[in-house]
């Protein structure tokens, strides 16, 4: 069993209005030392070991469903979980 953590964020060139909004809100709350905020999505998947390598599967899942590769990038971490 694997625990996969996937982080999806906008590409550098894409405007992130929600991140901007959070940045402004933090400033209004007095946290004026905040320089920038980027907002992304975070997926935590549990996968049973299959017939294919996990990395290849996760790459494919990101490309086909989890991320909009036109304007988002993703990265992930895979941890093997102990069998109980």
Interface ranges with a second copy (CB under 8 A) = 1, 7-9, 19, 22, 25-26, 29, 31, 33-50, 57, 61, 64-66
Query: CA 39, CA 50: separation in Å to the nearest integer?
Result: 32
Q: How far is the CB of 18 from a second copy (least distance, A)?
A: 10
Q: Of the two residues 46 and 70, which places its CB atom closer to a second copy in the complex?
A: 46
Q: Of the two residues 25 and 70, which places its CB atom closer to a second copy in the complex?
A: 25
Q: How far is the CB of 33 from a second copy (least distance, A)?
A: 4
Quick one: DSSP state of residue 49?
Answer: -
User: Exposed, middle or buried by CB within 10 Å (0-12, 13-18, 19+), for 51?
Assistant: exposed
Q: Of the two residues 64 and 70, which places its CB atom closer to a second copy in the complex?
A: 64
Query: CA 21, CA 68: separation in Å to the nearest integer?
Result: 22
């Amino acid at each position: 069993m694997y625990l996969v953590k996937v982080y999806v964020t906008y590409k550098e060139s894409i405007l992130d209005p929600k991140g901007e909004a959070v940045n402004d809100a933090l400033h209004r709350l007095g946290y004026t030392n905040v320089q920038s905020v980027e907002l992304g999505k975070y997926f935590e998947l549990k996968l049973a070991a299959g017939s294919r390598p996990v990395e290849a599967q996760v790459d494919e899942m990101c490309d086909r469903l989890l991320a909009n590769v036109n304007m988002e990038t993703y990265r992930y971490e895979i941890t093997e979980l102990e069998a109980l």
